[in-house]
Chains A and B, each alone.
Chain A
Amino acid sequence: QAQLHESGPGLLKPSETLSLTCALSGAPISNYYWSWIRQSPGKGLEWIGCVYYSGNTKYNPSLKSRMTISIDSSKNALSLKLRSVTAADMAIYFCARGTGDDTNGWYDYWGRGTLVTVSS
Chain B
Amino acid sequence: SYVLTQPPSVSVAPGQTARIACGGNNVAIKNVHWYQQKPGQAPVLVVYDNSGRPSGIPERFSGSKSGNTATLTISRVEAGDEADYHCQLWDTSSDHPGVFGGGTKLTAL
A binding-site residues for B, Cβ under 8 Å: 35, 37, 43-47, 49-50, 58-61, 94, 100, 102-108, 110-113
Contact = CB atoms under 8 A, between A and B. Distances in A.
Interface residues of B, number: 27
A61 B98 CA distance: 11
Interface of B: 1, 30-31, 33, 35, 41-45, 48-49, 54, 84, 86, 88, 90, 92, 95-103
B2 to A, nearest CB: 10
A46 B1 CA distance: 13
Given A45-B43, A94-B43, 14 more contacts: A35-B98, A43-B103, A44-B84, A44-B101, A45-B35, A45-B100, A49-B98, A50-B97, A60-B98, A61-B95, A106-B45, A110-B43, A110-B44, A112-B42
B90 A103 contact: yes
